[in-house]
């Protein structure tokens, strides 16, 4: 059989490295490494997520403002999809997504408006396609390869997609994260912050959907973090298929937009204004959204609110593809 041709990655120009300082041993569940390094402490896990995103933003700020700036990483596949009628993305993927609840979608739509004011040519992810990747199983493969993986993992899909019904992890403190390819809003695993989002339905005593015993992972108990959820999804999925994620970093982010032109960033002055706009948005988020009770925008959510995990396959890079199954929400 002739091997399938290599498919280029939209983010090939980016380095997705763990900037939290955690070391991962080959062959181990990569999410266990950070949990163990943090002594299973939600506060320490949150701190490492924060260290990663702040360090990465600092690196990217320097990349934008350096006198040796060589341009943005324009997503050529997305550019062709936008400009060439009939063009099809050749890359198929298999993932488990967490879908943001309505109050988070309201916030991210507002953030997109602010970003578009600073960069009018920014491509924006449609709100109905917003997602947080809990686990990427395979990316940039052929449709036939993904179909085979779907067949292998299908028996585990009902349990995996409803895992969040009982294993509830909170995300808090949204912040704009960015690089030379895209811009996103990132969250931190919660660690004792006041509950701000709508109260969830409690799991039934039996454990409810997906799993037997419920974890102490309700809104007010943060011992079970989003990183624990990623670890568990990884463990359960890997019993059925090999995991081929592009990267494993301490990040919980929703892509808001991508660059399709250099026009908004083609001078030092425009790049400085872009960075200033992002920093102003982040200052607003910290002051007006973080820990703000009864505010216009809520920056906290419990993964699984409204719907469980979304097992999805196909041409997923820009929020497309098809759903295999969505788990029970609360």
Choice among 85-89, 146-150, 166-170, 246-250 with the minimum mean pLDDT: 246-250
The confidence band for 17, taking pLDDT boundaries of 50, 70 and 90, is: low
Select from 293, 302, 165, 157 the least CA-distant residue to 225.
302
- The pLDDT-based confidence of 247 (bands split at 50, 70, 90) is confident
CATH number assigned to the domain comprising residue 171: 3.90.1140.10
d(CA 116, CA 122): 6
Q: Single out the residue of 304, 285, 305 nearest to residue 295, CA to CA.
A: 285
Is 92 in contact with 146 (CB distance < 8 Å)? yes
Mean pLDDT of the chain: 89
SS3 258: strand
In the predicted structure, residue 174 carries a pLDDT above the cut 80: yes
The closest alpha carbon to 74, from 186, 199, 181, belongs to 181
| Statement: residue 218 has pLDDT above 60 | no
In tens, the pLDDT along 54-63 reads 999 999 999 9
pLDDT of residue 24: 56
Give the pLDDT confidence score for residue 28 in this predicted structure: 72
Q: Is residue 220 part of a domain?
A: yes
Distances (CA, A) of 264 to 98, 117, 122, 245, 260: 31, 11, 8, 32, 10
Query: How would residue 182 be classed by pLDDT, with cut points 50, 70 and 90?
Result: very high
pLDDT at 250 exceeding the cut of 80: yes
Is 1 inside a domain boundary?
no
In a domain? residue 53: yes
The overall pTM is greater than 0.85: yes
Q: Would residue 8 count as lying in a domain?
A: no
Give the model confidence (pLDDT) of 93-148 as tens digits: 999 999 999 999 999 999 999 999 999 999 999 999 999 999 999 999 999 999 99
Mean pLDDT for 173-197 is 96
Strands 252-258 and 123-124: what pairing? antiparallel
Is the predicted pLDDT of residue 9 greater than 60, yes or no? no
Residue range(s) defining the domain that contains residue 105: 30-326
Residue 178 placed within a domain: yes
Three-class SS state of 173: strand
In a domain, 122, yes or no: yes
Q: Is 218 among the domain residues?
A: yes
CA 257 to the chain's CA centroid: 13
Position 157 scores a pLDDT of 98
Residue 197 is predicted with a pLDDT of 81
* CA 220/CA 193 separation, integer angstroms: 8
Task: Give a yes or no: residue 10 inside a domain.
Answer: no
The pLDDT value recorded for residue 215 is 47
pLDDT band at 210, cuts 50/70/90? very low
Mean pLDDT along residues 166-192: 97
**Residue range 302-317: mean pLDDT, rounded:** 96
Q: Among the listed ranges 46-60, 163-177, 195-209, 292-306, which one has the minimum average pLDDT value? A: 195-209
The pLDDT value recorded for residue 12 is: 45
Q: Comparing 3-12, 52-61, 163-172, which segment has the lowest mean pLDDT?
A: 3-12
pLDDT score recorded for residue 64: 98
Q: Please state the domain count of the chain.
A: 1
DSSP structure string for 196-251: -SPPPPPPPTT--SS-SSPPS-STT--SS-HHHHHHHHHHHHHTTS----S---S-
């Amino acid at each position: 059989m002739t091997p399938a041709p290599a498919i280029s990655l939209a983010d090939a120009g980016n380095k997705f490295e763990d900037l939290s300082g955690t070391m991962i041993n080959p062959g181990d569940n990569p999410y266990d490494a950070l949990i163990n390094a943090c002594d299973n402490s939600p506060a320490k896990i949150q701190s490492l997520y924060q260290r990663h995103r702040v360090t990465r933003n600092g690196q990217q700020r320097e990349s934008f403002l350096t006198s040796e700036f060589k341009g943005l990483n324009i997503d050529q596949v997305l550019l062709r999809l936008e400009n060439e009628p009939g063009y099809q993305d050749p890359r198929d993927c298999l993932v488990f997504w967490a879908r943001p609840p309505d109050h988070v979608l309201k916030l991210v739509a507002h953030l997109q408006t602010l970003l578009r004011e600073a960069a009018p040519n920014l491509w924006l992810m449609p709100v109905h396609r917003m997602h947080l990747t809990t686990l990427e199983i395979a990316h940039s493969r052929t449709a036939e390869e993904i179909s085979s993986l779907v067949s292998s993992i299908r028996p585990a899909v009902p349990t995996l997609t409803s895992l969040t019904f009982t294993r509830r992890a909170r995300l808090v403190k949204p912040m704009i994260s960015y690089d030379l390819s895209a811009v996103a809003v990132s969250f931190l695993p919660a660690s004792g912050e006041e509950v701000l989002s709508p109260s969830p339905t409690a799991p039934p005593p039996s454990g409810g959907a997906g799993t037997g015993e419920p974890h102490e992972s309700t809104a007010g108990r943060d011992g079970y973090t989003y990183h624990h959820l990623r670890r568990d999804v990884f463990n359960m999925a890997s019993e059925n298929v090999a995991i081929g994620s592009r990267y494993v970093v301490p990040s919980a982010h929703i892509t808001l937009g991508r660059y399709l032109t250099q026009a908004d960033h083609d001078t030092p002055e425009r790049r400085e204004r872009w960075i200033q706009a992002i920093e102003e948005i982040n200052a607003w988020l910290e002051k007006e959204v973080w820990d703000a009770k009864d505010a216009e925008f809520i920056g906290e959510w419990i993964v699984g609110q409204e719907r469980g995990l979304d097992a999805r396959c196909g041409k997923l890079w820009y929020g497309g593809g098809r759903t295999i199954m969505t788990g029970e929400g609360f």
